[in-house]
Amino acid sequence: AMDKVGKDGVITVEESKTFDTTISYVEGMQFDRGYLSPYFSTNKENMSVSFDDAYILICEKKISTIKELLPVLEKVLNTNKPLLIIAEDIEGEALAALVLNSVRGALKVCAIKAPGFGDRRKAMLEDI
């Protein structure tokens, strides 16, 4: 398992309910936080978000006004692709505008808080 994931990979050991030893490899990244509003969910049954071929906006700061996002939103709207926003935080007017556009179906969007804290957050954003 260690050879497969490399020095920067994560290994999780879990107790099994059987006597078998199994190894499963999962590509990708898991976040410790979810979306900032349930209105972003694309699957209302299990309240999850699933996008294909989405744009990803990564921001190391807090976003409070929609004005900060307008140039990106206008470009994404023209492509008809979904947008995932990962930021330190998204609040106030910016979050309200994203939720409204998502509910109306004008924009497929989901906003989440960046994972981690401090220097670890910066490193995780660089990994993404």
Q: For domain 30-127, is the CATH number 3.50.7.10? A: yes
Q: Find the mean pLDDT for residues 2-20.
A: 80
Q: What span, in angstroms and rounded, lies between the C-alpha atoms of 119 and 36?
A: 22
Stated pTM of the model: 0.74
Half-sphere exposure (Cβ direction) of 85: Cα atoms closer than 13 Å: 29
> pLDDT category, 25, cuts 50, 70, 90?
confident
> pLDDT category, 27, cuts 50, 70, 90?
confident
